[in-house]
Amino acid sequence: MSKLIFPAAPAPTLPIAGSDDRIPVQRVFCVGRNYEDHAKEMGQQVERDEPFYFTKSNESVVQDGAVVPYPQGTENFHYEFELCVVIGSPAHNVSVADALSKVFGYACSLDMTRRDLQLKKRAKQLPWDIGKDVEHSAPIGIVVPAAKFGAPGKQKIEMRQNGVTKQSSDLSCLMWSIPELISHLSTLYHLRPGDVILSGTPAGVGPCVAGDVLEGTIEGAGSLKVTIGKPV
Ligand code: MN
C-alpha cells in the first residue's frame, strides 16, 4: 500500500464565538475593489458590471493576536481590513435570496498586500499572486455565528493603526452585497463548508512597518489585532 512521503500540511482553523469547536479553513477567496471610495483611491474606475476575485492559499491564514512578519520583496506592505464570510454549507448556483442561508458566520479579517508588487503586475496585466498570496497575509479573527451576527447591513467597520483610525465605513457601502457575492461566486465554484470570502476593503488603506499594531472591529463580529514583525 502506498503512503504519503511527507505529512500533508493541516488546514488552519478558526475559533468560534461561544464554542470550543473550530472551523478548518479551506479556500480563501478575496473580492477586489468592493467599496467605491477604495476603488477611487486606487485610481480605478468604479464599475458595477461584475465582481472580481483573487485567491490566497489557506496557508496564509493566521490567528488573532499573531505577529505578521514584514514580508520579503516589498517596500510597501499594506493593510486592508475586511469582513470575512465563512461558508457553512455547500453552495452552487444559489440565488441571492438563498445565499445567506449558506453562511456559517462572520469574522474580522485583514488582506495584507505587497502593494508595490500588486501594482507593478497590474500595470503589466499580469497576475497579482505575488502581491496578494503572501505568507501570513490573511489574519482572521473569531467567527461569530450568523444567527448571532444577523444579516450584513449597516454594521460599522473600522481599523486603527497604532491607535489612529485609518479605515471607517459600514457594510452598507459594499458595492456588491454579501448575498450578491455568494450567489455570483457560486456560479463559478462549488462553494463548500470552510471556504471563506474576504469581501473587500473600504478606503484608507496604507503602508505599515515592523512594530505597528493593527486593530480592527466590525460591529457584531468582534475584533482582530495583529502586530507587524521583522522579516523572517
Ligand atoms: Mn482586499
Whose CA is closest to 181, among 168, 199, 208? 199
Question: What pLDDT does 148 receive?
Answer: 98
How high does pLDDT run on average in the chain? Answer: 96
Query: Would you mind telling me the total number of residues written for the chain in this entry?
Result: 232
Q: Which burial class, exposed, middle or buried, applies to 122 when counting CB atoms under 10 A from its CB (0-12, 13-18, 19+)?
A: middle
- In the reported structure, the alpha carbon of residue 204 is separated from the centroid of ligand 1 by a whole-number distance in angstroms of 12
- In the reported structure, the alpha carbon of residue 105 is separated from the centroid of ligand 1 by a whole-number distance in angstroms of 19
Question: What pLDDT does 45 receive?
Answer: 77
Distances (CA, A) of 2 to 5, 9, 113, 115, 232: 9, 18, 40, 43, 36
- In the reported structure, the alpha carbon of residue 80 is separated from the centroid of ligand 1 by a whole-number distance in angstroms of 5
- In the reported structure, the alpha carbon of residue 116 is separated from the centroid of ligand 1 by a whole-number distance in angstroms of 14
CA–CA separation, 26 and 33 (whole Å): 23
Question: What pLDDT does 147 receive?
Answer: 97
The segments of the chain whose pLDDT lies below 50 read none
Distances (CA, A) of 102 to 48, 77, 136, 183, 199: 24, 33, 27, 10, 15
Q: Which burial class, exposed, middle or buried, applies to 116 when counting CB atoms under 10 A from its CB (0-12, 13-18, 19+)?
A: middle
Question: What pLDDT does 79 receive?
Answer: 98
* H or E, element range at 41: helix 36-41
- In the reported structure, the alpha carbon of residue 201 is separated from the centroid of ligand 1 by a whole-number distance in angstroms of 5
Q: List the chain domain ranges.
A: 13-229
| Contact call for residues 60 and 170 (beta carbons, < 8 A) | no
CA–CA separation, 184 and 176 (whole Å): 10
- In the reported structure, the alpha carbon of residue 210 is separated from the centroid of ligand 1 by a whole-number distance in angstroms of 20
Question: What pLDDT does 174 receive?
Answer: 95
Question: What pLDDT does 46 receive?
Answer: 76
Question: What pLDDT does 124 receive?
Answer: 96
Whose CA is closest to 53, among 197, 203, 204, 175? 197
Q: What are phi and psi of 8, to 5 degrees?
A: -70, 140
The CATH number of the structural domain formed by 13-229 is: 3.90.850.10
| Contact call for residues 51 and 178 (beta carbons, < 8 A) | no
Q: Which burial class, exposed, middle or buried, applies to 143 when counting CB atoms under 10 A from its CB (0-12, 13-18, 19+)?
A: buried
- In the reported structure, the alpha carbon of residue 230 is separated from the centroid of ligand 1 by a whole-number distance in angstroms of 23
Query: Given CA atoms 17, 20, 26, 28 in this order, what sign does their dihedral have?
Result: positive
Whose CA is closest to 131, among 46, 229, 210, 54? 54
